[in-house]
Each structure stands twice: as structure tokens, then as C-alpha cells.
Amino acid sequence: MEQEERIIGAEYSEIMQKSYIDYAMSVIISRALPDVRDGLKPVQRRTLYDMYELGIRYDRPYRKCARIVGDTMGKYHPHGDTSIYDALVVMAQDFKKGQTLVDGHGNFGSIEGDGAAAMRYTEARLQKITQVAFLADLDKDVVDFGPNFDETEKEPLVLPVRIPNLLVNGADGIAVGMVTSIPTHNLAEVIDAVKAMIKNNRLTDADLMKYIKGPDFPTGGIVVNQDELLQIYETGQGKIRIRGRVEVEKGKGGRERLVITEIPYTMIGANIGKFLNEVAALVETRKTTDIVDISNQSSKDGIRIVLELRRGADTEKLKNLLYKKTRLQDTFGVNMLAVADGRPETLSLRKILEYNIDFQFELTTRKYKNLLDKEEKKSEIQEGLIRACDVIDLIIEILRGSRSRDQVKDCLVNGVTEGIRFKSERSRKQAAKLNFTEAQANAILDMRLYRLIGLEVEVLMAEHEQTLKNIALYKDILNNYDSMAKVIIKELDALKKEFGRPRRTQIENAGEIVIEETPVEELPVVFLMDRFGYVRSVDENTYEHNKEAADQESKYVLHCLNTDRICIFTDNGKVHLLKMQDVPYGKFRAKGTPVDNLCNYNSAEENFVGVLGMNDIRDTVVTFVTKQAMVKQVPGSEFDTSRRTAAATKLQEGDEVIAVYAASEHTQIVLASEGGYFLRFAVSEIPAKKKTAVGVRGMKLGDGDSVAEVYWIEKGTPNETHAGGAAREVSYKDRIVNLSKLRVSGRDTKGTKIRMQEKMSAR
């Protein structure tokens, strides 16, 4: 009889909540965060273990990375080859890791952000430290193994790492709702701290910092907030300020040059190129005139960025300017988050070392229990063989008189003599007294005849004596804390001697950089922007001499100060702020610079619809008009922000801004629709709104109609000029419309359908 189907009702939100929590924990534990014991993420652990299993040791030939990645993915890590290869590459990059764990052969990327070659080209093998300190005791049952994803293989749940790798190599990763960022540290210092804490487990974070001075980045640099490090290590969170190292060299002709030989750890990759651009920007914006040339002479031998200076340049002032205005001084955010006891935890320096020391004692305990068990089994067999040598004639007699191996074994273990032919009754009685263990009996039966030679017996007895010493030693290590501590410390000393290196990062205190900037002399200038988005500025005299050409060639002409900011309003409702100091200043016939290069404006995604000076709108209002005829006035002070890009207005779906204007209380507005309707009303009818508001309707539009053009009439001015030129008439759809003859109506009306006149030239 078929079982009836049962439908179980459940709350959808509860199912989603539980599923998301399960997913989040899977990402946190199984992918993004390192384990505090070995300092490795699962993908790193699996890659190293796979290389160990494949026999790709430090003293053997390199193997193709594609082979390593494929084997790891097929056996242990089914999350795609990219994540595995990326992890493999990072473990081989000496500019990212305090101690590289993989020895890469081929193009594994550069400190300047160049990516590694494809995995089919590169080769790799384990580093010696990885084999010695990470994988050495896997055959001694020191860590637990678990099934892989399809339960066809076994993989270690943690590697038997002998050093606090979480500190030595650091970590970074983004999980669901949490992030880890741990700086690298000096191996020798970390080992000294571990040894000190093994000897005295009451040491505080402050005590431990006598050994671990602070982070030690592979790129060197200078940490300049030494006094804040203690709090960072106590809480596991904080910010480390790090500078690049700048040296002064003598150049030709008595000139000096600044040479950057070390960079902040945060600058590696594309940020080196960004730094060069920042230095160039300092020169272009006239923040400094001392730099005459910049060149990146970095190579495989190290970083070397050269700044050529003018004769008599103030090098100290220039250094401070670089630290203040570029990423040559940067901040490394610390969040020492790792998986401890199966759950994510923010750890202090002391806590990390505590977990590591506990792990070391666990590894050593399991290792020597395994060794003790082997030695005791060996001792048992050795004792049996020694006893057998003393009664070898009897054993030979038993062998010759027996019919099977089992019969001989039963006699050796239990003294059973039935069915065995003996030469004498005396031999039978002696055989009945035998009581070898089963392991000893098997060893006796497998023993070769040459072991009966006198010298071989002596060797056997010497081996047994050594075995007894090993047993006593292992028992002492297992039963005595001090003895086990000595073993661990001895191993750490050996690792420090072979793999330790001098500190690279300097630790010191440095005050906040104060730059006395020379105030810029305020000068009146004219901002010019053509319809293609090229901008430049000229002085007023130059503009007056070329006024006709400037007005004809430029879409926007603004009279402002060289300290002003320009607001560029776009059709998607944003405003980009551009400093006049960033705008090229010079000759009238200069082409100018694309505005895309000077601010966040992106000509590929948006179009500018209005350009206004901040000084002109700060104390007035800005009027917005959209394609769907929504209008509003926004106080100009709302756009006075330090941000380079801000929201200027809120738009309805499918709408866009088509006009922005700094209107006065006497201004009138004319909206022209695609359908040929014109509506003229006073701007004063438009209410003031916040920039986050949509606005109000300015004109009633028919189905499918939209606003196409906007005109501004300044009442009380000669000829009632409209924005952009002096004219009463405008060309609209190849027809002439006389703006001054339009009837003034109220806002939110349909307007007047214009009877198109014959085409004529505007007066």
C-alpha cells in the first residue's frame, strides 16, 4: 500500500530566515574566514594538502598549476578553479605574505597590480617552511580528518601548523555581515612571543608587545601610530597608519630628488598607478611647483619611484605634502576576526597566541602518544626476539615437529604441545611453559635466520635499549608540562633560526602632519565649457578681447572667482562639483580638458543640462524642470557640499531633467511641449522644495506629450531677454515663436497651441 503524501505547512519568512542563516554560516566558516589554529582558509588548506598528497615538495621539480588546481577542485574544493588558483597565486606572492607558502615558477603577478599568467603556463611547488612547519606530522595522527564533499576522500580539518600563521601571514576576507583584516607580522618576533607565553601564561598584551613590536608588512614602510597599537591588539580592532619610506638623493646640477623605496601595504596593486596620478595632480593644480618630473623605476629588485625636484626645493615640506595629499600615507583597518572553536570571534593578540599554544600542545600530545604507541609495540617485539634467541634450539625443535604455522603459534603463545613431535620429554615440558604474546610469536615466525648471528643479537639488544629510552622520554614529555614545553620551544627555535628574517616595517610615533598652504589669491576668471564638455578658464581681459568668439563657441560662460566651485547638473538628477582650481587656466585658444577627467561626470551615461557657479546660487534658488513637466525650486545652499557628486533632485520613473536655471523673483518661464503647446508663467508660482522632493506639475500634458524646450524671460531687462541671448523670438520646429506675445497663464495649465508662422529669420 502506497504511503499517503503529507503536506507540512510552514511560514515562508521562517524558512527564508533559516536558509539564509545556514548560507551565511557556511560562507563564514567554510570559505571566507581563517581558522585561528592554522591561520588558513579552507581553499588554502585544501590546496596545500593536495600539493602534499601529489608529492610536490620543495626539493622536487615544479608541477603545472593547472594540475594542482584541477586535482584540488576534483577532490576537495568544488567551488570553481578561479578561487583555487587565486589562492595559490597569493600564497606565492612575497609582496602580500610575510612568509610565502608556495614557491611559484613563472609569472605570478607583480606588486604594481599585474595579474598572474594563466594556470596552464605557471608552475609551483611547496616552500620548505610549508613542508616543515605546516605538513610535517600529518602521518602521525596529530589532526582529525573528515570526508570530502562527495565522501570519496579524506581531508584534514586543520593542518598541523607549528607557528601562529594567522599573525605571520595575516588574513583578509569578506563574509556575510562580517569582515576580517589581519596584518602580517615578523616570524622571529611572533616565535619569541609564543616562547615567552609558554613559559609564563600570565603575560598581558602589553607584555607580549615587548616581543611583537607591531605589524611587519612585506612592503616595509613606517607605522606612525605606535601608541595606538596596544589598544588595537587588546581589542582586535583599530586603524594602523602607515607611510612609505622616502629618501633624499643628490642629483645633477645641485638638484635633489625624492626616491620612494618602500610603499604602504595598502598601495600594492593598482594604487601605485593612482599614487602617480595624485602626484601629477598636485603639480597640475599648482599645490606644488617643486616637482619637475616623476618616474617609476621599480623592478624585480624593489620599489623605486623618483621625483625630480627644482633646485632649492624644500624636501621636508614636500614629503609632508605627499603624506598629507596622496596615498603615500594610508590607513590599514584591523579587524582580527577568525574562526575559533567553530565560531567567528574577534580576537586580541593574547587570545590568538593562547589558541595557538593550546593547539601546539594538542599536536605535540597526539604526536608523542602515537610515537609512544609505536615504540611500545616495537619494544614488545624486541623483547620477544631476545627471549627467542635464548631458546632458539627449542623453537627450532617446535618448528620441525609441527604440521602448521597455527600449531607453532599456539605453542609459542599458549604452551599447547599436543600434536607436536619433540625429541625428549624435557623439551615438551619446556615448550609448555612458553608464553610469548601474539605479536611476538608472529615476529618470531617471520624472523630470518641471519638474526641468529651473534653480532645481530647484540644489535637487537642495543636497539631494544634505545627503544626503552625513547619510551621513557615520550612518557616524560606526555606527563610533564615543562618537558613538553621544552620540545615545542626547541622546534620553534629551529624554525626561527632557519626561516626568521629582520623586521622590514619601522614602528614609531609621528605627529599629525600640518601643511601651511599658501592661500590662493582670489582672481576673477571666466569659465568656458563647449557643447562637447571641454572646459577651460581664462582671465577677464582675455575673455573681453575674444568675447564674440567665446560666446559663439561655448555653451556655458560663467564669470566667477578662481576659488569658486562649478555645479554641473545632469539629466539623471545628479550634480557634480568641480573646483575652479582644477580647471586648466591659460590661453583662449587652448582646447581645454574633458570635464570627465576633472570630476565624476561620465559623458557615456549622462548629459549636462545646466552649469552654475556655487557663489552665484548659494544665497538664491535653483529651478528644475523635467521632461514630465515636474518643476521645483531648491535653495542653492543645499548643493554646497564637500562631496564631489550628490543627488540634485528626485525623479519619477522614466523622467529626466531637461533644464536647470538660477531664476530671480522677476523671471518668467516658458515650457514648450513636443505637441506644440507653450505655457508662460511666473517662476514665483513654483514652490520651494528640498532636493529630495519630486516637485509639482508645471504644465498639463496630453497623452504621449512631454516637455521639449524651456525658455527663461527676464522681466524688466532690455527687450525682455531670455537666458542665453537677447531675443524675443525663438526657432521651434523650424518655425519662429514670439515669446513676448505669449499670454501669461498660471502654473499647471495646458498652455496655448501655437499656430506656426512661416519660417523667418529671428530679429
The residues annotated with a catalytic role in the active site are 121
Residue 660's SS3 state is strand
Nearest to 625 by CA among 705, 557, 683: 683
- Which positions ≥6 away from 360 have C-beta within 8 Å? 162, 194, 488
Nearest to 51 by CA among 166, 155, 172: 155
Nearest to 507 by CA among 210, 237, 249: 210
Match 604440521 to its residue by C-alpha cell: 403
Start-to-end Cα distance in the chain: 98
Nearest to 660 by CA among 619, 710, 698: 710
Q: Which residues pair with 124 in a beta bridge?
A: 63, 104
Residue 332's SS3 state is strand
Match 606527563 to its residue by C-alpha cell: 479
Residue 561's SS3 state is strand
- 753 in Cβ contact with 676 (< 8 Å): yes
Q: Which three cell numbers stand for residue 7?
A: 503536506
**DSSP tag of 749:** B
Length of the chain: 763
Using CA atoms of 150, 151, 155, 157 in order, give the dihedral in degrees to the nearest 10: 90
Using CA atoms of 594, 598, 603, 607 in order, give the dihedral in degrees to the nearest 10: -100
Cα 687–chain centre separation: 48
* Burial bucket for residue 758 (CB in 10 Å: 0-12, 13-18, 19+): exposed
